[in-house]
Every structure is written in structure tokens, then in C-alpha cells.
Amino acid sequence: MDNAQKIWDKLIAAGLTPAGAAGLLGNLQAESGLNPQNLQNTYEKKLGFTDTTYTAAVDNGTYTNFAYDGAGYGLAQWTYIARKAALLAFARAQGASIGDLDMQVDFLLQELQSLFRAVWDKLRTTSSVREASDCVLLQFERPANQSAENCARRAAIAQEFYDKFTGGTSMNYIMNAAAFCAQALDIARNYKTSYMLGPWGWPATDKMITRATTNGSNAQTNKQWLAKANAIKGKGFLFDCVGLIKGILWGWSGDLSRTYGGAGYACNGVPDYDAKKMIDCCREVSTDFSRIVPGEAVWMDGHIGIYVGGGVVVESTPKWQGGVQCSTLTNTAGSQKLPGTVGSRTWTKHGKLPWVDYTAAKENNEEDDDMTEAQIRKIVRDEFAKIEAARAALPVAPWAEEELATAVARGITDGKRPQATPTRQEAAIMVLRGMQHKE
């Protein structure tokens, strides 16, 4: 993984918006070429060091003037005495090299939160790459050249990073809130699922059920849900609460033939976080649910879910039916359980996930010019229709080829759209035809 990817992932995980991360990353590129050992070029000859020898001399203590030499150094080209001294102290406290990339990004984030709060707040809320880039240049880096031309140049670099890591306007890397909600609802309504700690959409096969109940710290606990997992063996998937969020963002597609149901692991810039770390990295975390929008994470101690709008949460839980299911958000909907939900909860807080784009996500409890409930539902329906169309285009899974061929031969089904969700009338007809051929 190159330095740009590593830095991007850490910035997104820290709660910066994609635009904010790109704006900061573009400035770091302009300052240091994303080389954490970069010594300001004009000081190499003056001090008699290269990037490598300067870093080594600071690390081993033979060079003791790091904070006072006036030379820019590292990703952000730290220059001023107090900031370089703080960087050195931070590195030594972590037992890391002064030129370590991860250490420098952690220090950078600490600086933003403690010394540059206005910049930090901007980078966690803005949807404009140019706004983020200008904010970093003018309020954080503050180079000698603050001309309009330099602002435009750095913004252009930032835009390149944004396009690289988000897929530009198509948002292939950052999932939009409507698609996120639609897939969560799709899993709750159309897939057989069972709750187990650890999985993020693992197929319920002998191998994966055994893995969940024999390996790792959760194995013994997971045995209490073994019966439900065995009941959907070969037909469903295993999720825990935060695994539902991670699975969707890691690319889960409901493929029973894939090890993780089509998902990757810790990919798309989304770390393998537990529920607490997941809510901690969210933006605009609040205990006031009056402004919650679809696609936000909802959290309570030890548990997390996805708010999908209309007072409904999709969560994976051992309660009620056990697995991924819809519940009523009592914080907004009251104590009356909503139709289509299996239970109700009062959650502690909510927040916007760093890897979800909420640009168009608005709830019906906002002002008159905001989106209506009908508009929100239409967005979710449209995204759900796209998922249904994609599933209908999938070929038959290898494990079902023989049985499907037999069903076609007996006139039970036409064999078309083998992985599409059947309507009730289609299911009824196939069941009756199957009973006629009962051996």
C-alpha cells in the first residue's frame, strides 16, 4: 500500500469527510511528496544531511538541534520550534522513528484537534475539496506562497486524490447513504441470517460455523446460537452487529460460494473496528435524535445498528428472531412498534460513518424545504430496485445447478433469474408444482 492510501485510510477512519481528507492529503503532497522523512531541500546542503541521514541522526541522538534548526521536516514540513519539539516528544513517547509515517499522521491529527480546532471541524464537515484545501493551506500549513495560484494548484492535487479514492462523482469508493440503507434492508428482508459474534456476512457452511464456534475469543459464546446457524446451513449468512456495517462497506454481495459472502476484509478504507470504535470514528455524533438522517449508525453500549429512515433501524442481534432484522427506533418513533419491525429499542447516540456519503440524505423531521418521507422512501426503493436487478442477472450458483436443472425439467420453474427474489405468487406456484412431482 502506497503512502497516499495509508494516509487516506487513517484520515477517513479519524472522521474526516472524503473532501476533507483529500484537501489535507493534497497539501501534504505539495509540502513533502508524502515522504515522512523529507528534509526541506534548502537545508540539506546547509546542514550536511540527506533525508535518510538526518532522520537517522535524530533517532540515534547524534543530532540534537532538531527542534531549533529551522528546517521543515516530515509530511507537513513541521518547522516552528514548539511544533518540532512536540513532534519529537510524540515520536519518543511512542518508541517510533521521527520519520515513521503512522506516527506522523497520528501527531498531525492530534495537532488538528488540539491546536487547529477550526481546521479540524472544517475537515470533518465539508463536502468541498476546494474549501478543505484552502482551509489547510491558509490556516494550518501557512506557507510563504499563499497566492490564488498556489491555492488553485494545491486544490487540483487534492481533487486528484479525491477522484482516485472515491471514484469521483460516481462515489464507487464511498457508498452513498441511500444505497447503504437499501442493502441493509435487503439483507433484513430477503436473506436468512443468524447472529454470531465476529462474522461479517459469512456463509452458514459447516466450515464457517465451525470457525465461529471453535476459533477465537468469541467461540464459546457463539455456541449458544449454534442451533439457529445450523438451521440456515447452506442457505444463509452469519453476522454480528458491527459485522453488518463492515460487511456492506467491504463489498458483501450475498454470494454463498464466496468465503465471506463476496465481502473482502478491512478493504475500501474501512478498518476492522468493533462497535465502540465504529461510533467513535463517526462525524457529528449526538444524543439528540431529532436530526438523524438515513444511513447513520445508531449505538448503545455493546451494540450498533443502521438507521434506514422512517423510524426504522436494521440491526443484527440475537434478540427477537435472531439475525439481521428491522426494529423500531423509539427515540423518534415512540413506544409503538412500527409495521414491518420485530421489536423496538431506545439507542444512546448516533453519528455519520466516515465511509458513507450523506449529501442527499435528509429525514422528514427537518424544515419544509427538506426531503419528504416519500422522497426518502423513493430513493431507498430505487436503490433496492438496482440491487434486485443486479441479483436477477447473476447466474445460478454452482451448488444449486443440479437441483435447478431438475426443477426446470419437471416444469416447476423456467430457470430464469435463478438468484432473484421470488414474489409470493411465484413461490406459491412453484411449491404447488413441486408437490405434484413429489416422489
Report how many domains make up the chain.
3
Q: What is the pLDDT of residue 402?
A: 85
Residues 217 and 185 in one domain: yes
Residue 167's pLDDT is 55
Residue after which a domain boundary falls, among 394, 409, 426: 394
The last residue of one of the domains, among 145, 170, 195, is 170
Q: Are 329 and 428 within one domain? A: no
Digit-by-digit pLDDT tens for the chain (439 residues) are 589 989 998 998 888 888 899 999 999 999 999 999 999 999 999 999 999 999 999 999 999 999 999 999 999 999 999 999 999 999 999 999 999 999 999 999 999 999 999 999 999 988 899 999 999 999 999 998 999 999 999 999 999 998 887 754 433 357 889 999 999 999 999 999 999 999 999 999 999 999 999 988 899 999 999 999 999 999 999 999 999 999 999 889 999 998 899 888 877 778 889 999 999 989 889 999 999 999 999 999 999 999 999 999 999 999 999 999 999 999 998 888 999 999 999 999 999 998 898 877 665 444 444 555 565 666 666 666 767 777 777 787 777 788 888 888 888 888 888 887 788 888 888 888 888 776 5
Mention every residue, 6+ apart, whose C-beta is less than 8 A from residue 316. 193, 195, 239, 240, 241, 243, 244, 305, 323, 324, 325
Whether 229 contacts 197, CB under 8 Å: no
CA-based Rg of the chain, rounded to a whole angstrom?
26
**CA–CA gap between residue 14 and residue 273 (Å, rounded):** 12
Cβ contacts of 226 within 8 Å, gap of 6 or more: 209, 213
Question: In residues, how long is the chain?
Answer: 439
CATH number at residue 138: 1.10.530.10
Question: Residue 116 belongs to what domain range?
Answer: 3-170
403 and 389 in one domain?
no
Residues 43 and 215: their CA atoms lie apart, in Å, by 54
| Pair 222, 317 in one domain | yes
How far apart (Å, rounded) are the C-alpha atoms in residues 20 and 309?
26
Residues 116, 186, single domain; the answer is no
Shared domain check, 389 and 409: no
So what's the pLDDT on residue 415? 85
Same domain assignment for residues 55 and 157: yes
Are residues 287 and 407 located together in one domain of the fold? Answer: no
pTM to 2 decimal places: 0.54
The bridge status of strand 323-329 relative to strand 344-345 is: parallel
User: Is the same domain home to 229 and 143?
Assistant: no
Interatomic CA distance for residues 365 and 241, integer angstroms: 27
Phi, psi of 390 (to 5 degrees): -65, -40
For residue 227, give the C-alpha cell: 442451533
Residues 178 and 163 in one domain: no
Report how far Cα 21 is from the mean position of its chain's Cα atoms: 14
Residue 186 shares a structural domain with residue 330:
yes
In angstroms, the CA 344 to CA 319 distance is 11
Domain termination site, one of 170, 191, 224? 170
Helix (H) or strand (E) holding 259, with range, is none
Q: Do 158 and 101 share a structural domain?
A: yes
